[in-house]
Structure 1
């Protein structure tokens, strides 16, 4: 999940945009999608990892040594997902290049070496992407991975990327909606007739192949992406928020579920997830403590926090332990022994 400089612990109120055009019913194909089912079920929480699978406190880039073996180890231990961030350029003022490799390319590499773990993005900076090529990449990866791709989408929080790409930073909210409409149209309609103000269009004479393995690539909002929460609840398949303080979890869960109920009906399920840095402490009883972009806790404190989150209706948490002090293999083993058994992935 992209680091935010002032992460709001609850859903921010953004004025509603134009009425959503998406169906207000959950998409039936998500009930079949293997990656979605592995992570998201009502009343239960699962755990994923934000890459890199390496600790590197105080350094902008990981070495990426042994990363494939670490991914396979995470899968064997039962983690639900591996999440890739979208950081195209190194900005010394920002000081972080995520997992170094471009996320869609890297997902293809990981898909060939894993079998069941879900593979996601936290998130693709949609306003800076050409949505037609992104649609082709996403449906191809979903097919090649056996239906394990989860496409997290964000508006990005790095101002410096936008002038580098010749894009107006202030237009990112509108560009997100425009690009998302093109993405959904191409991936879910046959020979669509559409026109975008920014990203071209078609008279219905061309079709995108392949389509998604189970009919839809799950699209998860990573942060609010400059949108109203109402728009996200109508159009996206889930919402991944920065992990808030424990006493704010209930309000966050209730507010998201209420917006989903309004958008999709009383029995609708669109999952709520959390994400952020984890500084795993050696003392197992250290409770939740806020740090920039995440939190620190011992394994028991982490488990306590996740139990509260699960009770509040949170379905998944994506942890990035790169700021921890221990070697990454030790972190995996500790979480695998003491935390994962309480929050297993759905097989």
Structure 2
């Protein structure tokens, strides 16, 4: 274990860190990948958001721990993913108003493409509007086509990320006497997606949690050990692209970034994730063959009770 891990402390406003293991959802709450039909003329990766209000309220009511929102500034059909369509911080403000308990996380805001002082103000705003339910996941980004549009150099995004993060964490110290950034809200926990072009040691020392790419439980054993070596007990989060089947006893079949299975297999998979040291899993429904409401209700009834604390 590397030196200095004992000094790594958890952000006191990190509500996710209060859970040993928990289950959340990744937005959009749609199954557009499973329903995609090129003949209908809808671009692949653009979800139907008409039911998003009711579905996020359902996720909140059913007891899912967190809802994760992605940051995709420009829809690129070659990449094929528009995320949840809405601009991240605008949407988080809306979600804060229509939910009560669910943690609101970003997975993740692309810092090099955003003005860091405005990110800091937006995060403080969401913190206040949501009663401190924000987890601010950040990243250096991975879509080169976006960077020229924002007049940002893709090749130095790692350096830009570090500069932006320093403003998020310590920006007030750079203000002249009498100046302030309002609203005054507790610093939202800062999680990082991947390594953001940094070293594991730097990430462990400077971030409050890790948003790890999806993988099998065996994949996560190795990654969790790396994270524990540099970050101690800070939260380790990942995601499962789920196709929950109507047959509760359907065996686990693996696909890219996730599984197809029934509720019993999902309990087995989540227990394996917990045993691997994962602290939180966000469920992604875009390839789900069942209606999203049906899947969430089945999970709330037959899966979440296994992980209540």
Q: What is the TM-score when the length of structure 2 is the normalising length? A: 0.89
Change (3 A) 1:334 1:64: same
Shift of 1:178: 0.7
| Contact 1:85–1:103 (8 Å) recurs in 2 | yes
CA distance in 2, matches of 1:301, 1:169: 41
Does 1:55 pair with 2:40? no
Aligned twin of 1:210: 183
Could you report, residue by residue, the CA deviation over 1:229-258 in whole angstroms, capped at 9, with x for unpaired residues? 111100000001012222233222222111
In structure 1, stretches of 5+ residues that fail to align are 1-19, 194-201, 262-268
Within 5 A, what are the aligned runs for 1:108-187? 108-186=93-171
SS in 2 for 1:242: coil
Aligned twin of 1:240: 211
SS in 2 for 1:314: coil
Aligned twin of 1:77: 62
Aligned twin of 2:202: 231
In structure 2, stretches of 5+ residues that fail to align are 37-43
| Contact 2:208–2:234 (8 Å) recurs in 1 | yes
Does 1:302 pair with 2:278? no
CA RMSD of aligned residues (A): 2.0
Aligned twin of 2:17: 40
Change (3 A) 1:225 1:45: same
Q: What is the TM-score when the length of structure 1 is the normalising length? A: 0.80
Could you report, residue by residue, the CA deviation over 1:55-88 in whole angstroms, capped at 9, with x for unpaired residues? 1013321121121111111111100011110011
| Contact 1:40–1:46 (8 Å) recurs in 2 | no
Aligned twin of 1:321: 285
Aligned twin of 1:7: none
Could you report, residue by residue, the CA deviation over 1:19-59 in whole angstroms, capped at 9, with x for unpaired residues? x9xx94415xx33x2xx32x3236x2111111111110133
Number of corresponding residues: 295
Aligned twin of 1:264: none
CA distance in 2, matches of 1:336, 1:254: 30
Equivalent position to 2:226, from 255, 279, 286: 255
Does 1:26 pair with 2:9? yes
Question: Which structure is higher in helix share?
Answer: 2
SS in 2 for 1:333: helix
| Contact 1:47–1:316 (8 Å) recurs in 2 | yes
Aligned twin of 1:281: 245
| Contact 1:288–1:301 (8 Å) recurs in 2 | no
Shift of 1:281: 3.2
